[in-house]
């Protein structure tokens, strides 16, 4: 029987600069969901990539005195390197300048044109180069500096050009019906409410081609026009699934289960994208989830303020899994969150070093010393033993539900709830005292503790894959016994040899406090 498929995507980033912590955040969260579903036995396709066309790329390239292709090549490489640095497990990295993507974009355009949804007209309006979007006059304002700004706070200018239009207005009712009939199409709820009121306020047809520059995908049959960058950008999700070849092996992944994107681009994904797909006769993705923004101590990061955080510096300073854990545990996924040194140090030391790291180190060192470095032989399990095993099993159920609704912080809360309980168990059972009074019970307690750590290790893999892997290594868990199906089915084997325990989660020590 073929396995259930699961297709998940990040947004494709503009490679007009180097990647920042917002990009890293999105990739880490999406990676955790992809890995979770793989460990849960699904056939996963996880896609990320770069969005290389459009005037924004062209303008940055001009400023730097290079071609947009050179700019894209240089920076796409940095985005790929970030993927390696963050241990992102994507199956494909798409660049919108690839031939496969030209083919898919022209094919979907042709379908929309054949459906009668594309017509030629003239366009004049307030255009933001930064947002690559036209705005209605009442969405803009002239500020004290005498410059007109759009709703995202970026400058806009008046532009007039011949343009093809997409009949977005024709899809207004159908979109409202989609949101009403299928409330899980947009998450979280605040984002859905925003989109519903935007669509209710009335949709205008969308200008979908440009003639003022040529850095884009040519419109089929009228090469003086290039496609508006969002038409080509959104299409990346089906390009990677093999479109237009619907017989290709990868088409089995479409429709995508979820597009993970930032809240600033929810409109493009939940209004334009479904309308394009309907027009072209293609199924819609099942869900679009808009996560929040990561701020630097409450401030928006920007190059001019000089507070942009480089993910590689954070990884070098705190460690990769420390960063992954912090971002996923600290910020409720879907809300905005803050990055700060104190917060990441606190999470690293309290949850990883103390709760999980110390428990593993103490229990496994006792096993090494008192059980001949072998998995202990348990006796009959008491109610306390069974209760902690059961909590680890229940944590999987909670985590599965949470990850299905992208509530990654709740999945981690349930898993680390098991760790907290295991610490209480270990303290109250006092295996160090049992060593003198009842070695058989001591072995049982150490077995239970090690078995719970195994379960926690399995559950932690999607979030902190490197460290969870090491934790399972020191318990000698075979590589093919690390899936969620092995949570109860693959318990530790009493008498099996264990390697020497290694500390896995070092405490973060402030530089001025180092000995
Ligand atoms: O929007 N915190 O590209 P992009 C969290 N090319 N997420 C952030 C963030 C922050 N501070 N800053 C940006 C684009 N993001 C388009 C997407 S998809 C078909 C085309 C998120 O490089 C942002 O919300 O500006 C988006 O999801 C992603 O990073 C890429 O942003």
Q: Is 22 in the pocket of ligand 1 (CB under 6 A)?
A: yes
354 & 451 share domain: yes
Distance CA 166, CA 208 (A): 6
Residue 305 CA, ligand 1 centroid: distance in Å: 19
Q: Are 17 and 11 in contact (CB under 8 A)?
A: no
273 & 406 share domain: no
Mean pLDDT of the chain: 95
Q: Is 232 in the pocket of ligand 1 (CB under 6 A)?
A: no
In a domain, 334, yes or no: no
Tokens representing 163? 């343009």
End-to-end CA distance of the chain: 59
Residue ending a domain, among 130, 165, 200, is 165
Residue 351 CA, ligand 1 centroid: distance in Å: 29
420 & 278 share domain: no
> Which residues in the chain come in under a pLDDT of 50?
none
Top mutation candidate among 14, 17, 23 for ligand 1, by most atoms within 8 Å of CB: 23
128 & 228 share domain: no
Which strands form 288-291's sheet, in the order they lie side by side?
92-95, 43-50, 5-9, 258-262, 288-291, 186-187
17 & 159 share domain: no
Query: 10 Å Cβ neighbour count for 318?
Result: 18
> Over the stretch 152-164, which tens digit does the pLDDT of each residue have?
999 999 988 899 9
Please state at what angle helix 21-39 crosses helix 311-318, rounded to 10 degrees.
70
What residues have CB less than 8 Å from 204, skipping those under 6 apart?
136, 168, 169
Q: Is 264 in the pocket of ligand 1 (CB under 6 A)?
A: yes
In a domain, 327, yes or no: no
The residue contributing the CA closest to ligand 1 atom 4 is 13
Tokens representing 244? 């237009």
Residue 402 CA, ligand 1 centroid: distance in Å: 23
What residues have CB less than 8 Å from 239, skipping those under 6 apart?
94, 98, 100, 101, 103, 104, 105
Residue ending a domain, among 291, 309, 330, is 291
In a domain, 54, yes or no: yes
Distance CA 284, CA 272 (A): 11
96 & 244 share domain: yes
Distance CA 483, CA 485 (A): 5
| Residue 372 DSSP symbol | T
Q: Is 96 in the pocket of ligand 1 (CB under 6 A)?
A: no
Distance CA 480, CA 486 (A): 9
Tokens representing 119? 């017509």
Q: Is 132 in the pocket of ligand 1 (CB under 6 A)?
A: no
Residue ending a domain, among 127, 145, 165, is 165
In CATH, what number is assigned to the domain containing residue 25? 3.40.50.620
Output the CA–CA distances (angstroms, integers) from residue 259 to 6, 33, 68, 284, in the order listed. Answer: 11, 11, 27, 11
Residue 488 CA, ligand 1 centroid: distance in Å: 39
Q: Taking the model in full, what pTM does it have?
A: 0.94
384 & 469 share domain: yes
In a domain, 507, yes or no: no
Distance CA 368, CA 450 (A): 12
| Residue 184 DSSP symbol | G
Distance CA 359, CA 367 (A): 12
Distance CA 407, CA 36 (A): 13
Tokens representing 408? 């990654």
In a domain, 323, yes or no: no
State the closest ligand 1 atom to the C-alpha of 260, by its place in the atom list counted from 1.
27
Q: Are 199 and 178 in contact (CB under 8 A)?
A: no
161 & 171 share domain: no
Q: Is 467 in the pocket of ligand 1 (CB under 6 A)?
A: no
Q: Of 284, 343, 288, whose CA–CA distance to 314 is shortest?
A: 343
CA dihedral 254, 258, 260, 261 (to 10 degrees): 80
The residue contributing the CA closest to ligand 1 atom 9 is 22
The residue contributing the CA closest to ligand 1 atom 8 is 22
Top mutation candidate among 8, 10, 11 for ligand 1, by most atoms within 8 Å of CB: 11
| Secondary structure element (H or E) that encloses residue 289, with its range | strand 288-291
In CATH, what number is assigned to the domain containing residue 422? 1.10.730.10
Top mutation candidate among 29, 54, 71, 265 for ligand 1, by most atoms within 8 Å of CB: 265
Q: Are 271 and 278 in contact (CB under 8 A)?
A: no
Please state at what angle helix 320-330 crosses helix 21-39, rounded to 10 degrees.
90
113 & 225 share domain: yes
Q: Is 10 in the pocket of ligand 1 (CB under 6 A)?
A: no
Locate the DSSP E strands across 96-248. Answer: 118-128, 133-135, 141-142, 148-149, 157-166, 186-187, 206-207, 209-210, 218-219, 222-227
Top mutation candidate among 20, 26, 296, 332 for ligand 1, by most atoms within 8 Å of CB: 26
Q: 118-128 and 92-95 as β-strands: parallel, antiparallel, unpaired?
A: unpaired
> Over the stretch 227-254, which tens digit does the pLDDT of each residue have?
999 999 999 999 999 999 999 889 999 9
In a domain, 505, yes or no: no
What is this model's ipTM? Answer: 0.99
Distance CA 171, CA 91 (A): 33
Residue-number span of the structural domain to which 385 is assigned: 341-497
268 & 191 share domain: yes
In a domain, 316, yes or no: no
What are the two backbone dihedrals, phi and then psi, of residue 290, each rounded to the nearest 5 degrees? -100, 105
Q: Is 14 in the pocket of ligand 1 (CB under 6 A)?
A: yes
Domain tally, the chain: 3
> Over the stretch 164-217, which tens digit does the pLDDT of each residue have?
999 999 999 999 999 999 999 999 999 999 999 999 999 999 999 999 899 999
R_g of the chain computed on alpha carbons: 26
Q: Of 55, 465, 47, 79, whose CA–CA distance to 253 is shortest?
A: 47
Can you give the length of the chain in residues? 515
193 & 91 share domain: yes
416 & 488 share domain: yes
Distance CA 237, CA 45 (A): 11
In a domain, 60, yes or no: yes
Distance CA 500, CA 488 (A): 25
Backbone torsion region of residue 431, taken as left when φ is above 0, otherwise alpha when ψ lies between -120 and 50, otherwise beta: alpha
Residue 262 CA, ligand 1 centroid: distance in Å: 6
Q: Is 366 in the pocket of ligand 1 (CB under 6 A)?
A: no
Q: Is 237 in the pocket of ligand 1 (CB under 6 A)?
A: no
CA dihedral 476, 482, 487, 489 (to 10 degrees): -80
Distance CA 27, CA 152 (A): 23
Q: 């000089």: which residue's tokens?
A: 306
Residue 24 CA, ligand 1 centroid: distance in Å: 10
């Amino acid at each position: 029987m073929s396995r259930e498929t699961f297709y998940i995507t990040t947004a494709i980033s503009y490679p007009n600069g180097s990647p920042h912590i917002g990009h890293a955040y999105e990739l880490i969260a999406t990676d955790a969901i992809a890995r979770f579903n793989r460990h849960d036995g699904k056939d996963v396709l996880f896609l990320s990539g770069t969005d290389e066309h459009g005037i924004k790329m062209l303008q940055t390239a001009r400023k730097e005195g290079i071609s947009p292709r050179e700019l894209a090549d240089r920076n796409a490489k940095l985005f790929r390197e970030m993927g390696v640095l963050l241990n992102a497990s994507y199956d494909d990295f798409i660049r919108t300048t690839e031939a496969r993507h030209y083919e898919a974009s022209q094919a979907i355009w042709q379908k929309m044109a054949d459906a009668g949804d594309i017509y030629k007209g003239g366009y004049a309006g307030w255009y933001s180069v930064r947002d690559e979007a036209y705005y209605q006059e009442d969405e803009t304002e002239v500020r004290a500096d005498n410059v007109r700004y759009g709703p995202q706070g970026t400058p806009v200018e008046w532009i007039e050009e011949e343009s093809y239009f997409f009949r977005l207005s024709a899809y207004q009712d159908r979109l409202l019906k989609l949101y009403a009939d299928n409330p899980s199409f947009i998450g979280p709820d605040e984002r859905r409410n925003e989109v519903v009121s935007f669509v209710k306020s009335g949709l205008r047809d969308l200008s979908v081609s440009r003639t003022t520059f040529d850095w884009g995908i040519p419109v089929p049959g009228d090469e003086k026009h290039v496609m508006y960058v969002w038409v080509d950008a959104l299409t990346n999700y089906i390009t990677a699934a093999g479109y237009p070849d619907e017989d290709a092996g990868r088409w089995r992944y479409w429709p995508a289960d979820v597009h993970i994107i930032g809240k600033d681009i929810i409109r493009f994904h939940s209004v334009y994208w479904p309308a394009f797909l309907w027009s072209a006769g293609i199924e819609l993705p099942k869900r679009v989830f808009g996560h929040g923004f990561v701020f630097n101590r409450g401030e928006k990061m920007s190059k001019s303020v000089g507070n942009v955080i480089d993910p590689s510096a954070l990884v070098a300073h705190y460690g990769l899994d420390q960063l992954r854990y912090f971002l996923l545990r600290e910020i409720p996924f879907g809300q905005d969150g803050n990055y700060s040194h104190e917060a990441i140090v606190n999470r690293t030391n309290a949850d990883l070093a103390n709760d999980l790291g110390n428990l593993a180190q103490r229990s496994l060192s006792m096993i090494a010393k008192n059980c001949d470095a072998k998995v202990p032989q348990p006796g009959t399990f008491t109610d306390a033993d069974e209760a902690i095993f059961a909590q680890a099993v229940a944590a999987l159920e909670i985590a599965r539900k949470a990850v299905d609704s992208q509530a990654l912080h709740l999945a981690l809360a349930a898993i680390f709830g098991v760790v907290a309980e295991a610490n209480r168990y270990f303290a109250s059972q006092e295996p160090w005292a049992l060593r003198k009074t009842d070695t058989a019970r001591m072995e049982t307690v150490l077995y239970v503790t090690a078995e719970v750590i195994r379960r926690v290790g399995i559950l932690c893999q999607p979030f902190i894959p490197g460290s969870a892997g090491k934790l399972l290594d020191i318990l000698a868990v075979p590589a093919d016994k690390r899936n969620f199906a092995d949570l109860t089915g693959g318990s530790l084997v009493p008498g099996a040899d264990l390697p020497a325990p290694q500390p896995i989660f070092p405490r973060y020590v402030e530089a001025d406090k180092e000995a």
